[in-house]
Amino acid sequence: MWPAIKPRLRKGAALYFSHGFAIVYRDQTGVIPPENVDVILVAPKGSGRSVRANFLDGSGINSSYAVRQDFTGRALERTLALGIAVGSGYLFRTTFEHEVFSVLTGERGVLMGALAGVLEAQYQVLRKNSHTPSEAFNETVEELTQSLIRLVGENGMDWMYANCSSTAHRGALDWKDRFRGAVAPVFEDLYGSVKNGNETRNVMAANSRPDYREKLETELKQIRESEMWQAGAVVRSLRPENWKK
């Protein structure tokens, strides 16, 4: 879209981004704004669906903000106004570089990639040791999403530990450092790949292929039809809130 947008930018306009990708990796994207516009960022910390749902609910969602280029002298004012307009519950300062480095690391790490990988690993170990699909899924995913992560969200990890059984918090405290040590090198490699642009090159190359959507659906289908997530579909249907649906 950049070749269509750039000629329409008038002097004093605000070029607003919700992600630092295009600007930070401009050597790959070709997105180099003219000097006579403001270049600003408000990046909601959630999926588009969550941003919209929280907006309608009136609760908002946290966002980071940054000013890359202040031509008018009003770039910060414009940025904060946009942050309020999209329903941000809280705004915190960042830079375009920090925003994109943290987002790409987080998406591939704890938020999505690492989360999916760790869940699959635990599920498979339980199944290998004769636990049923229902038990393996409930102990791996359902309890996390329906109980524990909510406690973390309310008051933090220590509060969640304090509000679980002694067998749970004692075991978690004893094992968390081993998990941290095991995955820390992977996160170091991941951050380096983000910072040097390799992840961007991979994304752009894959997304530019004419059959990308078909290949993506094949990959997602493999997850959807795996035993773990087939069990998950059944477990979700049995939640009390779904009984009357």
Active site residues: 19
Run of H or E residues at 81: helix 75-85
What the block records as the tokens of 62 is 């946290």
Query: Which ranges constitute the DSSP H helices of 109-156?
Result: 113-128, 133-137, 143, 149-155
What the block records as the tokens of 172 is 């978690």
What the block records as the tokens of 29 is 């994207």
Strand segments, DSSP code E, in the chain are 14-17, 38-44, 61-69, 88-93
- Residue 107, Cα to own-chain centre: how many angstroms? 4
Residue for token pair 């966002």: 63
User: Are β-strands 61-69 and 38-44 bridged in parallel, bridged antiparallel, or unpaired?
Assistant: antiparallel
Helix 166-195 and helix 198-207, axial crossing angle in degrees, nearest 10 = 80
Length of the chain: 245
What the block records as the tokens of 32 is 């180099």
Run of H or E residues at 171: helix 166-195
Q: What are 176's strand-pairing partners?
A: none
